[in-house]
Structure 1
Amino acid sequence: MTLLLTPSALPYSSRALLRLIEGAGLTGNWGWNFATNEHVWSPGLFRLLGLEPGMVPPSYDLFLHLVHPEDRASLETGAQMRDGLARNATVRVIRPDGTMRLLSIQTEIYVAPDGRPQAAAGTVLDITDREALARAQAAERRRAWALFQRTRSFTHTYSHPALEFSREFMDLTGQSREAFLEDSQRAIASEERSFWREFGAEHFPSARIFHATPLLILADGQKGRFRFIVLPILRPDGGIEGWTHFVTPVGRQGLQPTGDVRRRLEEQVRGHHVRAARALLGWSMHDLAAASGLSFSTIRRLEDDVEAIAARSRHAAVAALRTAGICFSLLDGAAIAVARA
């Protein structure tokens, strides 16, 4: 990008840009006045490059030296930049301590009224963690697909109303996205379709977790009964933003809910469930307090369904009961059954 810069503004351009970008919370920035060969780096850029602010004089050559040799061709040389050439790029930087970071660089060339390049400035963002997150998410998708192929169990989340459907669900049923958009119930066996349509009409608007076991028509033409645990995703105003489905075959060993699905299921456990679980174990409230690491008063508030009880306390109590052999199961609809394994 090329910007018009008047001579009077040129001496202050780097400092003005520095304040602007630092104020916006970006990682680091730099400026280069071609006439004076003055380079300005923000403290954030020094730290991003693994250098203490002010420990070395900033320069474009130093920056290029820190760029991975295979990535230097993505950036202009100093001479090219003086000629007004600049590209945005993503490059790897090797810090003095040997660690590597992935940086996104946005560069602007400033020109005088006669069109001559007078200065350059840029912002540098560290996107290493973003790339690492993307790789982790890709690995998780591969893991989930492998588990689905082995167990036919999967978790998927969609918006409300549904516009996209999971790869696993479409593979399981052999239905296309267009087919589901036309009729979201078409994967259910015809003899049960009316029942589950009415069931959904009753439970989906409730914005509560519920459980269903429809008979599905599978991609190979066979039929199979699957267990759906359906969890609402709510907006701050209480409206429904979407749904998360945990799906596993009925009567077969599949995945067990984990992570966010399990956490949200445990949030449905109420005081009477905890009391029933204690009764099955022959535990007092003092016993549960000792097993969970919670105070007696916290257990009492939990069993009295005090709304202010912290979520982590509920999860700690449920975890202690599970460890002792208690199973919490979601029945058809939204009822929770308590049993001892």
Structure 2
Amino acid sequence: MTRTQLLAADGTEVRSDENERHWAVADALDDETRLGMLREMVVTRALDTEAGNLQRQGKLGLWAPSLGQEGGQAGVGFAMRPQDTLFPSYREHLMARMRGVRFEQIIDIFRGSTHGGWNPAETQNCRLYSLVIGTHALHGTGYAMGIRFDEESGSGDVDRDEAVVICYGDGASSQGDASEGLVFANTYETPTLFMVQNNKWAISVPSSTQSRTSLATRASGFGLDAAEVDGNDVLASYAVARQMLDEARTKNRPQYLELDTYRMGAHTTSDDPTRYRTRDEEEAWRQRDPIERMRAHLRSRGATDAQIASVDEEARDAAAAVRGYTMTAGSPSSDEIFDFVFSEGNESLEEQKLALARFEASFGGDA
């Protein structure tokens, strides 16, 4: 399967007859939108880095970085339409922010100070993070089945029809739930895009061990339309995802997009990648950095140093704001564990709430 690339590692354009139809989509992007893609990547990386630092200082229990994977996330994020729904895993920080989730809400998950994360209804259709590997492949497919049954897709109108994006990595693709999601998506012809970030390592297991073929080739065996893209190329990720999403929404044809990328950081802050991969490998992928690639591309189109600097300044301000929030944030009442289980309370939950309150009170205010 051919991997689509529109920008080389140094930011120069790669044009050929083979990718002409993808360039037709990318060429429609104005410079302001392209700068916006860079802004989302740079700001998210700054926030991501700050979160990692906060974890090392004991302010977060854990952190899952997305360092190096911003290109594919930005591409698909910009390719989504307002009516679409996102089912993230736990590393889609950029995409969650694009769908209206505040980074502070993501921070609170890893602080252990929220009993869920956010109300999806108060975002632009962004569901909760799924920390259990692969389970949301079924949740998202089920949601897409509902869209299909409600006839909210398949009309041929890209501005009306809805689609669902389900995000997970190469490691999750080996889970049974992920395969079952593909089966149900194909069987019920759901308007779904499975966005799979092949970042080469499922913690310490390389993707070459997980699958003897590309993940996109595996997905095509389930009957899905599948494609492989340079996931560090934001323009290619955008162009291919835009076309696949519109195919999914208007024709109820489930799609599978493998983003060829690399996890530059650790799997989480509890992981030490130096135990299983080499510095030479990391350096080779550092030369393919999606942010530097986009910076070079924008400069070739006339972007000024002032425009680029303004993005970096915005990123620094955002990181400082998150640090300030995290250092002073409190914790919610344990009552919330019970208050948001059902729309209306019940006697059993009230008894449990009182039992926990008595237990906490037994510590004399130190709980």
Q: TM-score range by the shorter chain?
A: under 0.3
For normalisation by structure 1, the TM-score amounts to: 0.24
Q: Which has the higher helix share?
A: 2
For normalisation by structure 2, the TM-score amounts to: 0.23
Of the two, which has the highest radius of gyration? 1
Q: Which has the higher strand share?
A: 1
User: Which has the bigger relative contact order, CA under 8 A and spacing at least 6?
Assistant: 2
